[in-house]
Structure 1
Amino acid sequence: MELKPKRFLVLDDQLVLRKLISRQASFFSRFAVDIDEFSDPAEALRSIAEGGYHLIITDIGMPGMNGIDFIKNVARLGYRSALLIISGYDGKTLQTIADMSANLGIACARFLSKPYSAEAFVASLNGIFNEMERRAAPAASDVESLLAELSAESFRLEFAPVRALSSRKLVAFSLTALLLRDGGRLPLEKLLELLSGRRGASPAALEMLVERVARLLQDTRSACGAEECRVDIRIDEACLSADNVFDHCFVALQQYQVSPASLGFELADGLNRRSDGLCFENIAKIKYLGFRLLAGGFGQGSLTVSNLFRLPFDQVSVPMETLQWMRALRGEEPAAFQMLRSFGLGQAEVCATELDDDDAVSVARAMGCTQGRGDAVSLVVPEEELLQEIAAVPNGSPASSETPV
């Protein structure tokens, strides 16, 4: 059955710019798109009130009702989907407006600074719909059966290999999903989202996953002598705010004689002064116990630059969308992440993610990333094929970080 087109609303007081946006949307091949164009914010609001829009694209500097007031009125109407702000204001100002939009309840708010390329526009659309798909919440009724399945260990794990971009040598594995008994696939971020409303569920699931990974690492070491295989596991604030969870993970690794350095925890959420004190204690404990701490989704979500200043990250993961955005602003620049050195992070510790085609890999290398993961780098691997993937590495030992470009 053919999918219904996505409905976009475009608001800009200049006819030429409205037509340009509509034309650029025609390059977006992921979905068929229907576009309604408006020059008057009041008329746009009347159409939004009728419902049905998947994305609103708006300018900020308009006569009469400005874009900020328009966005506030959009939120008052109950619109909760996606917003793309296109304006000539500077990036920091537009980021502030996007943050305002998110705080008003709009699920996904992004921006583009004029001038921008058609490529950057399409990349923004892809990023928006990627985020919307990730946000699609699983049914809460599944929590009980999921917890039972986790306890019974009637699932398999799926990993995405992380490789050096120049040599394609294996560096690590990122735990991406659970393959459930009914044949379903549950991405790890969806698992965390599903369990976040149940007190103690996220840390309990994390401990189960760490023990399962520890057994796998022990098996692969025994079978092929791989001593330095590393696995990265995504965590959220619910995991960080639990008492003793990382002590339990440490004990599980000791039980299977696996080094803590073989495990990395990728932080999905940022921390602020309102975060539970246990979160900061557990960040320190991760480092003290010898685990690695990774920043997930640089340039997205709540992991802000202030988190990079304050938290002792060993690696930063940079999604393709952020790389496209940086390239649109700066061009291809191998030293784009040089600033991370001031945070105590070497350039070799930048890993590009969501590399789904060869062009994405080229962009990542041009922007100075030395590691990456995604379908263009290596397809995902179920746990029963993990040994085969590691055994294919020369000398049975994954590569360490390559020399920075």
Structure 2
Amino acid sequence: MMNRVFIVDDDTLTCNLLKTIVEPIFGNVEAFQHPRAFLTLSLNKQDIIILDLMMPDMDGIEVIRHLAEHKSPASLILISGYDSGVLHSAETLALSCGLNVINTFTKPINTEVLTCFLTSLSNRQAQRELVSFNNDKANQGKFDFIPTEQDLREAIDKKQLILYYQPQINMKTECLHGAEVLVRWLHPEFGLIYPDKFIALAEQTGLIEQLSEEVIHLAIKQSVHWQKLNRATRLSINISAQNITSLKLPEQLRMLVKKYEIDPSMIVLELTESALMDSEVTSLDIFTRFRLKGFQLSIDDFGTGYSSLSQLHKIPFTELKIDQSFVTNMKQEKESMAIVETCIMLAHKLNMEAVAEGIEDKETWDLLSAEGCDIAQGYYIARPMPADQFDKWQFNE
């Protein structure tokens, strides 16, 4: 199905300018100066909407509300000449409503940047369609795999879980600092299954404790292997909120690293700040004991929760991991840039290392380096990879 592009803007000159840019790329373009006429359309996943926020008859926020109420599957590009802060708030609102916001632009629009973005978008769409076609041919007769509790239980029991490792780089030395451990499910029929398909299921069914135990065992065994090769690597392991309800966990992990003769400081336990809010007293007990036993602690996705500063004050974290949404947008948004700067400063004031995830290009790396960020992670450095590939990988090779 071909892309349709709908321009919704009350300004005639802007509509004409956008049509001039969009038509050579997508062809099928229609402009609406009155939003109510646009909202009568039936939209599909291939459609793209370029929406102005500041319109007299019906503003862009009202349009966003309508699209959200009707669960619009279309992609959304927001534009505004009013205020960059308002544009950012509108984007946040649309995303929280489940809409697919793919970019934002301030007026006057940089036509070169917009043209490059739309051309790239068109090329990616064509590539996705080709991949989808090839996958459909390869998987005829197969249904999308929706795992059950029994499927996941068998995966754990039959050792179908495997680990991938995403490198983390020291930004000053550009040497390997460590790696984040990411679990994958190697299904005998459906191949590699990503955690978004089974982590929530594990938490809902109570299997998260067994799953986490398997991940920790696999990570420590890999750490032992690397240690024997004189390639000791610090490993960051994600911990679910449900994992910190057991007061026995710190001692269990201490016995495990003692058994394998691993330095506990080579293990970083990552927990999202929102997860800490569920049982503050218990988590404070457990995390303090983790630190007493030599483990490192990381507060993950920092900046997205509601009690960040109080948690940083109470729990002895050694690492602050800046949420990738801020890192990804720091080039385009002064608000995101300010948040990243503040997170780095806060980490250093509290004697923690600042880790930035989601770095996708050199420009973002350079901005973070200039701000004194300590550790970098993201596709610019490397994608997650199996242990054998990690062994051969080198930064900037």
Q: In structure 1, what residue type is equivalent to 2:98? A: I
Of 180, 192, 201, which aligns to 1:185? Answer: 192
By relative contact order (CA 8 Å, sep 6+), the higher-ranking structure is 1
Deviation at 1:288, TM superposition (A): 3.0
Deviation at 1:101, TM superposition (A): 3.8
Contact 2:43 2:74 in 1 (8 A): no
Scaled by the length of structure 2, the TM-score of the pair is 0.71
Q: In structure 1, what residue type is equivalent to 2:68? A: A
Identify the residue that residue 331 of structure 2 maps to in structure 1.
327
Q: What CA distance in whole angstroms lies between the structure 2 residues aligned with 1:203 and 1:113? A: 44
Deviation at 1:216, TM superposition (A): 1.7
Q: In structure 2, what residue type is equivalent to 1:38? A: F
Correspondence 1:114 to 2:106: yes
Of 61, 64, 74, which aligns to 1:71? Answer: 64
Map 1:224-303 → 2, pairs under 5 A: 224=230, 226=232, 229-237=233-241, 239=243, 242-244=245-247, 246-247=249-250, 248-268=252-272, 270=274, 275-277=277-279, 281-282=282-283, 285-290=286-291, 291-297=295-301, 303=304
Correspondence 1:211 to 2:217: yes
Deviation at 1:81, TM superposition (A): 5.8
Q: What CA distance in whole angstroms lies between the structure 2 residues aligned with 1:148 and 1:27? A: 52
SS, match of residue 270 in structure 1: helix
Deviation at 1:181, TM superposition (A): 4.6
Correspondence 1:38 to 2:32: yes
Correspondence 1:11 to 2:8: yes
Gaps of 5+ in 1: 394-405
Q: In structure 2, what residue type is equivalent to 1:10? A: I
Deviation at 1:139, TM superposition (A): 3.9
Deviation at 1:44, TM superposition (A): 1.8
Cα deviation, 1:327-353, whole Å, max 9, x if unaligned, reads: 334499899625543466569833333
Q: Compared with structure 1, are the counterparts of its residues 153 and 249 closer, same or farther at alpha carbon in structure 2 (3 Å cutoff)?
A: farther
Q: What CA distance in whole angstroms lies between the structure 2 residues aligned with 1:92 and 1:232? A: 35
Contact 2:328 2:359 in 1 (8 A): no
Q: What CA distance in whole angstroms lies between the structure 2 residues aligned with 1:25 and 1:350? A: 41
Q: What CA distance in whole angstroms lies between the structure 2 residues aligned with 1:369 and 1:33? A: 44
Map 1:388-399 → 2, pairs under 5 A: none
SS, match of residue 63 in structure 1: coil
Of 53, 56, 79, which aligns to 1:86? Answer: 79
Identify the residue that residue 157 of structure 1 maps to in structure 2.
163
SS, match of residue 205 in structure 2: coil
Q: State the number of aligned residues.
A: 364
Q: What CA distance in whole angstroms lies between the structure 2 residues aligned with 1:329 and 1:347? A: 27
Q: What CA distance in whole angstroms lies between the structure 1 residues aligned with 2:279 and 2:40? A: 46
Contact 1:207 1:245 in 2 (8 A): no
Q: Compared with structure 1, are the counterparts of its residues 98 and 333 closer, same or farther at alpha carbon in structure 2 (3 Å cutoff)?
A: closer
Contact 1:11 1:58 in 2 (8 A): yes
Cα deviation, 1:274-331, whole Å, max 9, x if unaligned, reads: x5326x63265234312433344456xxx24752553455334446763453233449
Q: What CA distance in whole angstroms lies between the structure 1 residues aligned with 2:171 and 2:344? A: 19
Contact 2:343 2:354 in 1 (8 A): no
Q: In structure 2, what residue type is equivalent to 1:350? A: A
Deviation at 1:230, TM superposition (A): 1.3
Deviation at 1:173, TM superposition (A): 0.6
The percentage of aligned residue pairs carrying the same residue is 17
Deviation at 1:170, TM superposition (A): 0.8
Scaled by the length of structure 1, the TM-score of the pair is 0.70
Q: Compared with structure 1, are the counterparts of its residues 189 and 77 closer, same or farther at alpha carbon in structure 2 (3 Å cutoff)?
A: closer
Q: What CA distance in whole angstroms lies between the structure 2 residues aligned with 1:239 and 1:80? A: 36
Contact 2:155 2:185 in 1 (8 A): no
Q: Compared with structure 1, are the counterparts of its residues 387 and 101 closer, same or farther at alpha carbon in structure 2 (3 Å cutoff)?
A: closer
Deviation at 1:93, TM superposition (A): 4.4
Contact 1:202 1:239 in 2 (8 A): yes
Contact 2:322 2:355 in 1 (8 A): yes
Deviation at 1:90, TM superposition (A): 4.5
Deviation at 1:178, TM superposition (A): 1.8
Identify the residue that residue 200 of structure 1 maps to in structure 2.
206
Map 1:162-173 → 2, pairs under 5 A: 162-173=168-179
Deviation at 1:205, TM superposition (A): 1.2
Q: In structure 1, what residue type is equivalent to 2:57? A: G
Q: In structure 2, what residue type is equivalent to 1:62? A: M
Q: What CA distance in whole angstroms lies between the structure 1 residues aligned with 2:346 and 2:183? A: 34
Identify the residue that residue 134 of structure 2 maps to in structure 1.
none
Contact 1:350 1:369 in 2 (8 A): yes
Q: Compared with structure 1, are the counterparts of its residues 202 and 376 closer, same or farther at alpha carbon in structure 2 (3 Å cutoff)?
A: same
Contact 1:211 1:249 in 2 (8 A): no
Deviation at 1:24, TM superposition (A): 6.9
Q: In structure 2, what residue type is equivalent to 1:114? A: T
Q: Compared with structure 1, are the counterparts of its residues 384 and 343 closer, same or farther at alpha carbon in structure 2 (3 Å cutoff)?
A: closer
Contact 2:186 2:193 in 1 (8 A): yes
Cα deviation, 1:151-208, whole Å, max 9, x if unaligned, reads: 2223431101111234331101112342615383334455424534x33123331121
When structure 1 is superposed on structure 2, of 319-328 and 256-265 the one drifting more is 319-328
Q: In structure 2, what residue type is equivalent to 1:288? A: R
CA RMSD in angstroms comes to 4.4
Q: What CA distance in whole angstroms lies between the structure 1 residues aligned with 2:224 and 2:286? A: 23
Q: What CA distance in whole angstroms lies between the structure 2 residues aligned with 1:268 and 1:85? A: 30
Q: What CA distance in whole angstroms lies between the structure 2 residues aligned with 1:243 and 1:37? A: 58
Q: What CA distance in whole angstroms lies between the structure 1 residues aligned with 2:24 and 2:346? A: 39
Q: In structure 2, what residue type is equivalent to 1:152? A: K
Deviation at 1:213, TM superposition (A): 0.9
Contact 1:318 1:353 in 2 (8 A): yes
